Chains A and B, each alone.
Chain A
Amino acid sequence: VRMIFNPETGHRLGEAQLLNHFPNHYELTRKDLMCKNIKRYRKEQEKENTQLSEKDEAGNFKYLDIIPMTFILPGDYPMFVEEFRRNPNATWIMKPSGKSQGQGIFLVSKLGQLKKWATSSKLPFQSLALKENYVISRYIDNPLLVGGKKFDLRIYVLVTCYKPLKVYLYSQGFTRFCTEKYTPDCAELDNMYVHLTNVAIQKHADTYNDKHGGKWNINNLRLYLEMTRGKEKTDKCFDDINKNIYVALKAVQSVIINDKHCFEMYGYDILIDSNLKPWLIEVNGSPSLTTTTEVDRKLKMQLLQDTFEIVVPHDWGSTDANRGANTCKEKAVGYYSLIIDESIIDDKKKPG
């Protein structure tokens, strides 16, 4: 994608062409850059003392506390060690910044484990030339469990413009379940089937069932939560998910290069903890469109259909047609509904 926008290549996107990525989407979709941008945004909001930067009685951000504590390695290593020593019983999760499908991820409960992994030589950690950046985050060891198993949410979000921000939320999302029951037991820290929800990993488990694929529709999760936890708590949880989506996009709004040809359909990964607080794990710029079950296939085909319905101008192809991916005027298309539209100038409402 970068190549297309590189002014030196001499190529330009044709008037009628549409592209399903923004030029520097990695500001949001790479784990380390997302973390950097969110931290920067938080500082900015706090400095300006905006409504978004409001804190609760305990001093925690009410709206901006969307990612678990994260450090970027190797640069932040000393800060990480300091934090680690403060909470020696905490577990941390190491993830390569640019990989996907759960590749290269592992859990760390002792500093020694990190050191062992990083080097067999005697060099201090931070002076190592790591092949790539890693992020290390506080592991959420109290995930919400259903049927004793950990799961995360895959939510689809369509952005047709960053400046001003225009965002559609897809109401059909799904949860991805682990095949083995959750346990924080140290002995099982390296059991991926307990901790990592990526389908790419779970489908190799012995107990993987390809009829349901470990995928449970998000609306059924909501129904279950409403009946077992109550409407108020459930509504707040889903409101908070929408707020997380909003904050993540606002955090990168100023750095993303906007282009009218571009749109992006993101796969947000959200993890809900046992207190019904949703955490943003990452934002995928190329969410998987391969399907594992019939239900999955139906969902993704409809997703694509609805996406194209929004981004492709209705008179695409004719010479005096509307240009770009942001021509849709509807507030709802298929299962998408417009949740953020900053082009409406006098709409100063916060989402949710």
Chain B
Amino acid sequence: AEDPEEEEKEITTRIIIYDHNKILDELLKMKSENYAAEPSLAWGSIHVVLQTKSLEELRNKFTELNVALRQIGVDEDKAFVDERLLIGEKLVQKNAIPLLVQYAKRGIPHTLRPSVYRKIMCFDSGEKCAHYFEKLQDHFTKWEMALDEVLRGDIKEFCNDDKFFIFEDTLSPIIYSFFRDPYVFGHCRVQPNKPFSAFTEKDQRVGYMPPAGVLPCDLFSRYAGPLLYMSDKPQDLYFIFRGIDIKYVSCLHSITSHPQGIISLAKLFEDLLQIYEPEVWFHMQKIGVSPLKIAFPWIFYMFVGFLEVDQILYLWDRIIGFDSLEILPILAASIFAFRAKLIQNCNTHEEIDEIFYDLYQLKVIPLIQHFLFATETTQIN
């Protein structure tokens, strides 16, 4: 557009309700007002004293990730993958959902992932689901919400990514429908903040605005991103996406003391780094760079936008299999551990930024395995 007036119209500022920086800022301000004793680790930027697991406890919890066991995401030999496919197909056929969750711990072969995720995230599939999604779509066609403007901008911005731009048409109905879905609010693992409510004349609450009872963070579309690779049909993906949001994304967006909440995850990251990579930690303190500031967006977005798509999916397999987000701060800490030497050779903020600018070469499962099972644990309190 040559006309300067035209150009200004094009550069419309996107409305962002909140982003990960805002959440982090709030976390850093929080203190445990009623905690009397001295916390054992006083050097972190998270001052809320929440208990986090030790490496031993994490090893126990994530025992299926042990180096001794072959994993999807590490081992690619045909015999192993075929074996996994065979087992997985049987479990899918039998609808054995708890067993499928257990199965996911060692990773799901790509071909099976869509059906496994579908089984785990939406146990009542079929007619009911398709009809429900249609109703949400109808709502979108008939009624415009103020939030739609925000969502439109979010989707457009997200689709600038060369990994996801092709899927814009599958993504849009999922996002618009999600915020119109009243099922969301009551089923979040971690209760979101009180949403705007609509009342009748007689002070009867008739619903939330938006109906889902939650508001989107910046680039909310990221949480749907990796799922878009699994199907062309929004109705197939919607319930998987909703399930992941209810169980996991809600934990990342709420200020809560829940052990899966964002505060605990941030603290776990700092604790792991301080205890098991103290030189890295102290070096970064010396040059005035906060490790949490770097790792926070990775954890907040479940690594979408930072890793290759297949790596994100290997990671999400484990989140679903172990039903825990703790794997996110573990991976974050393992990346710092992996780049320890490079970090210690840096002296400025810019040099550190350069190290973490590009994570696309990383293979997540070997990194996690190495950190969990190969780190020496002799130096703890």
Interface of A toward B, CB cutoff 8 Å: 146-149, 177, 209, 211-217, 219-220, 223-224, 226-228, 230-231, 293, 295
Contacts and interface: CB of A to CB of B under 8 A. Distances in A.
8 contacts: A147-B166, A212-B160, A219-B308, A223-B310, A227-B229, A231-B85, A231-B109, A231-B110
A147 B167 contact: yes
Contact of B165 (A148, A212, A231): A212
A228 B160 contact: no
B161 interface: yes
A213 B166 CA distance: 11
A34 B318 CA distance: 49
Contacts of B85: 231
Contacts of A148: 169
B161 A227 contact: no
Nearest to B110: A226
B265 to A, nearest CB: 27
Nearest to B232: A228
Nearest to B164: A212
Contacts of B231: 227-228
Contacts of B163: 216-217, 220
A177 B229 CA distance: 17
Contacts of A216: 162-163, 165-166
A212 B162 CA distance: 5
A227 B166 contact: no
A221 to B, nearest CB: 9
A220 B309 contact: yes
Nearest to A149: B166
Interface residues of B, number: 24
Nearest 10 A/B pairs, CB to CB: A212-B162, A211-B160, A147-B166, A226-B110, A231-B111, A212-B165, A224-B229, A227-B230, A146-B166, A227-B110
A226 B162 contact: no
B110 A223 contact: yes
Contacts of B167: 146-147
Of the candidates A214, A215, A223, A293, the one having the most CB atoms from chain B within 10 angstroms of its own CB is A223
Given A223-B310, A228-B230, A147 B168 contact: yes
B170 interface: yes
Given A209-B159, A216-B165, 15 more contacts: A146-B166, A147-B167, A147-B170, A177-B166, A212-B161, A214-B165, A220-B163, A224-B229, A226-B110, A227-B114, A227-B231, A228-B229, A230-B111, A231-B109, A295-B162
Nearest to B310: A223
A216 B230 CA distance: 16
Nearest to B169: A147
A215 B113 contact: no
Of the candidates B109, B162, B168, the one having the most CB atoms from chain A within 10 angstroms of its own CB is B162
Contacts of B162: 211-213, 215-217, 293, 295
A122 B114 CA distance: 61
Contacts of A149: 166
Nearest to B171: A147
Contacts of A214: 165
Nearest to A181: B169
Contacts of B165: 209, 212, 214, 216
Contacts of A224: 229
A146 B166 CA distance: 7
Interface in B226-264: 229-232
Interface in B147-175: 159-163, 165-170
Contacts of B168: 147
A146 B231 CA distance: 10
Contacts of B229: 220, 223-224, 227-228
Nearest to A174: B162
A209 B170 CA distance: 18
B111 A226 contact: yes
Nearest to B358: A298
Contacts of B113: 227
B317 to A, nearest CB: 13
B126 to A, nearest CB: 20
A89 B320 CA distance: 51
A146 B229 CA distance: 10
Nearest to B115: A227
Nearest to B160: A211
A209 B157 CA distance: 11
Interface string B107-136: 001110110000000000000000000000
A223 B114 CA distance: 12
Contacts of B109: 231
A219 B310 CA distance: 9
B154 to A, nearest CB: 15
A215 B309 CA distance: 15
Interface in B53-93: 85
Nearest to A226: B110
A223 B309 contact: yes
A219 B313 CA distance: 14
A266 B162 CA distance: 24
A211 B113 CA distance: 30
B169 A227 contact: no
A295 B164 CA distance: 14
A2 B170 CA distance: 51
Contacts of A219: 308, 310
Contacts of A215: 162
A254 to B, nearest CB: 36
Nearest to A232: B111
A213 B159 CA distance: 11
Of the candidates B114, B166, B168, B231, the one having the most CB atoms from chain A within 10 angstroms of its own CB is B166
Nearest to A147: B166
Contacts of A230: 111
Nearest to B82: A231
A220 B230 CA distance: 12
A217 B232 CA distance: 18
Contacts of B166: 146-147, 149, 177, 216
A325 to B, nearest CB: 29
